């Protein structure tokens, strides 16, 4: 679990909550809630933690390699968000280094990031409900329910919801990258 991994990494680095708060620019109260599993941190918060520990997002979510099949149940999945009212991701795959699958929900008028950005991966998204605009490089692609897009994630990209209803989608990324 993320909460246990953050607590463990903080101990490994010999940091108090206050010291970690100073390093990340986050409040000690928020960090305490994250470590106790009381709150699901935003994607921005998780990125700051990864940077403070000198690691990546995949490491923060790492779980032992599964010996048995991994079952992901609604309501028990780790959540990632990019801030209040923006995108919320449910993590469908265990913490591994070869594949990450997320279920996203993007509210109307929102985007997954302020600006497109790239990372060394391959990405595939499929729209489950609503309409999703995918910006890859200079192109914009409007997808409706059932349609999918695959692309080289090194190209700056982001997902937008320009409609009036929430968009739900799956994203598969290999290898995972923050």
Each domain of the chain, given as residue ranges in start order, spans: 2-60, 79-174
Predicted confidence (pLDDT) at residue 84 exceeds the cutoff of 70: no
- Supply the pTM of this predicted model: 0.65
Q: Average pLDDT, stretch 106-113?
A: 92
Q: Which residues pair with 144 in a beta bridge?
A: 131
Pair 157, 133: CB distance under 8 Å: no
> What DSSP assignment string belongs to 50-103?
HHHHT--HHHHT--PPPSS-----TTSS-EEESSTTSEEEEE-S-S-SS-EEEE
Predicted confidence (pLDDT) at residue 175 exceeds the cutoff of 90: no
Q: Label residue 130 by pLDDT band (50, 70, 90).
A: very high
- The pLDDT assigned to 82 comes to 63
Tell me: domain 79-174, CATH 2.60.120.10, correct? yes
Half-sphere exposure of 146 (CA within 13 A, CB side): 0
Name residues whose C-beta falls within 8 Å of residue 78's C-beta, 6 or more positions apart in sequence: 1, 2, 40, 61, 90, 91
- Lowest-confidence range among 46-50, 63-67, 92-96, 166-170? 63-67
For 136-161, the pLDDT digits (tens) are: 999 999 999 999 999 999 999 999 99
CATH of range 2-60; options 1.10.3720.10, 1.10.260.40, 1.10.1200.10, 3.30.420.40: 1.10.260.40
Average pLDDT, the chain: 85
Helix (H, G, I), strand (E, B) or coil at 18: helix
First to last CA, the chain: 17
Rounded to the nearest 10 degrees, how much is the dihedral formed by the CA atoms of 67, 68, 69, 75?
A: -100
Predicted confidence (pLDDT) at residue 5 exceeds the cutoff of 90: no
Q: Label residue 58 by pLDDT band (50, 70, 90).
A: low
Q: How many angstroms separate the CA atoms of 60 and 173, rounded?
A: 16
For 28-56, the pLDDT digits (tens) are: 888 888 888 777 787 778 888 888 888 87
Q: Average pLDDT, stretch 86-99?
A: 77
């Amino acid at each position: 679990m993320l909460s246990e991994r953050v607590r463990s990494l903080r101990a490994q680095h010999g940091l108090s909550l206050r010291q970690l708060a100073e390093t990340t620019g986050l409040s000690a109260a928020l960090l305490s809630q994250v470590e106790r599993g009381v709150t699901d941190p935003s994607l921005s918060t998780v990125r700051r933690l990864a940077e403070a520990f000198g690691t990546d997002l995949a490491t923060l979510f790492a779980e032992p390699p599964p010996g048995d099949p991994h079952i992901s149940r609604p309501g028990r999945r780790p959540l990632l968000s990019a801030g209040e009212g923006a995108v919320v991701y449910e993590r469908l795959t265990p913490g591994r280094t070869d594949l990450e699958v997320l279920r996203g929900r993007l509210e109307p008028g929102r985007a997954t990031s302020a600006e497109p950005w790239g990372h060394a991966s391959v990405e595939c998204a499929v729209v489950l409900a609503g309409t999703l605009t995918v910006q890859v490089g200079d192109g914009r692609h409007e997808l409706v329910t059932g349609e999918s897009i695959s692309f080289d994630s090194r190209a700056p990209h982001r997902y937008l919801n320009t409609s009036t209803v929430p968009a739900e989608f799956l994203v598969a990324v290999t290898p995972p990258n923050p």
